[in-house]
Copies of this chain bind each other. A is one copy, B any other.
Amino acid sequence: MKDKKSLSNRRAFIKTTGKLSAGAMTTGLFAGGLFTGSPALAREPEKKLGVALVGLGNLSTKQIAPALQKTAHCRLAGIVSGTPEKRKKWASQYDLPESSIYDYESFDKIADNDDIDIVYIVLPNSMHAEYTIRAAKAGKHVFCEKPMATSSEDCRKMINACRDAQRKLGIGYRCQFEPHHLECMKFAAEKNFGPLRHITAGFGFKIGNPKQWRLNKELAGGGPLMDVGVYALQACRYLAGGEPESISAIEIKTDPVKFAEVEETLNWSMQIGDVSCSCQTSYAYNGINQFHAYGTKGHFGLAPAFSYKGIKGTSSSGPIKFPQVDHFQMELDDFAQCVKNDSPTRVPGEEGLRDMLVLEAIYESAATGKTITPAAFQ
């Protein structure tokens, strides 16, 4: 990476001034706009960081690779896949040099590839930790799909690995870059509808193929909670602006064959400060894809809230309307700018860890039938 030295200098400066502290993250979050960069960096707008995608499934194929054709600050520069046919197809489709194409065995050689700045992990959940750590050790910045991992223990290892390598770690919380969500965060932070008192949030879908990795505990770590429930949790956390003080969950299973390894449906409630949260996730039914937040003076929400496209907002003061954007384009351009500017991402590994600690508490509450008061979320 060409500007490694200058980035290091900036990092040292930012560390000194404390701008990399966890608390600083929220500033960027609620500012609503993209980081505009320092005057020094404005001189090199043409530089696009190279991104290597690890795992070429549906998400990479249909969302992320197309988004990387539109990004201003990064570009698709490499791929990692275990399937020769996929490697060949992608190399041809995206005109990728042979030197930037890896399989899982050769992956660590990416350390020698100056054309790759960021590795984007799009693998099944349980593989996130290993490949994040290997990418960090190879000297790459890492962007990792949600859920960050399958345990808080793995999340901590990932954070440590990136910290040790002095590389950035971002989590694919694309909604934090979507304008309707950003507007709702603003409503919450600025108390436009009064201080919040309640959030209902749910995301689920009826799962198809019973043989997919999402139903395999070893690969997925869990069921819909890990996969899509985390969006509802994210919404509650970034709207309520804090961490849960109590968590209560129940699990419902109607098909113990299909859901032999992971949960089918979970409902959970949380208290976050003065906000009661009521959340739902499931692989058993379609149509739940929303949040609605209720303040003392009005209410607002999105439905659909978490789809890749077609986000719609309503409020007690009228519709919430913004242009539809490519969420992946937004998150990737933001992360690339954070790397370029050595500024903190609003979706760091610590954010993924905080969610994972709540996910673990939700599972614990469902398993024990007891309300959980998490000892600590750090």
B265 touches A267 (CB 8 A): no
B-side contacts of A279, CB under 8 Å: 278
CB contacts (< 8 Å) of A270 on chain B: these are 250
B296 with A206: CB separation less than 8 A: yes
Contacts A248-B249, A267-B278, A371-B370 given: A198-B299 contact, CB under 8 Å?
no
Give 15 new A-B contacts, CB below 8 A, not counting A248-B365, A288-B294. A197-B254, A198-B204, A198-B284, A248-B250, A248-B269, A248-B371, A250-B270, A252-B271, A252-B274, A252-B275, A267-B269, A267-B276, A268-B269, A285-B295, A286-B316
Contacting pair A282 B287 (CB below 8 A): no
Chain A positions 342-374 with a Cβ under 8 Å from a chain B Cβ? 365, 369-371
Interface centre among A292, A296, A371 (most CB of B within 10 A): A371
Q: Mark A241-283, 1 if CB is under 8 A from B, else 0.
A: 0000010111010100000000001111111001111111010
Which residues of A approach B to under 8 Å, CB–CB?
197-198, 200, 202, 204, 206, 246, 248-250, 252, 254, 265-271, 274-280, 282, 284-288, 292, 294-296, 298-299, 316, 365, 369-371
Q: With a CB–CB cut-off of 8 A, which chain B residues contact A276? A: 250, 252, 265-267, 280, 282
Contact of A250 among B197, B269, B287 (CB under 8 A): B269
Given A248-B369, A269-B269, A296:B288 Cβ within 8 A: no
* A287–B269 CB distance below 8 A: no
12 pairs across A/B with beta carbons < 8 Å? A197-B284, A198-B265, A198-B284, A246-B369, A248-B249, A250-B270, A250-B371, A252-B274, A268-B269, A286-B298, A287-B298, A370-B370
Which residue in B287, B295, B298 is a CB contact (below 8 Å) of A294? Answer: B287
- Min CB–CB distance A209 → chain B (angstroms): 16
Q: How many copies does the complex hold?
A: 2
Known contacts A269-B268, A276-B280, A278-B278; A285/B250 CB under 8 A: no
Q: How far is the CA of A277 from the CA of B316 in the complex (A)?
A: 25
Q: Is the CB of A299 within 8 A of B274?
A: no
| Interface SS of A by simple majority | strand
**Chain B residues whose C-beta falls within 8 Å of the C-beta of A287 in the assembled complex:** 292, 294, 298-299, 316
A288, B246: Cβ atoms under 8 Å? no
Q: In the complex the two chains form, is A280's CB within 8 Å of B198's CB?
A: yes
Complex Cα–Cα for A271 and B204 (A): 17
Contact A299 B286 (CB under 8 A): yes
**Within 8 Å CB of A295, what residues of B?**
285
Q: Complex formed: what's the CA distance from A370 to B291 in Å?
A: 26
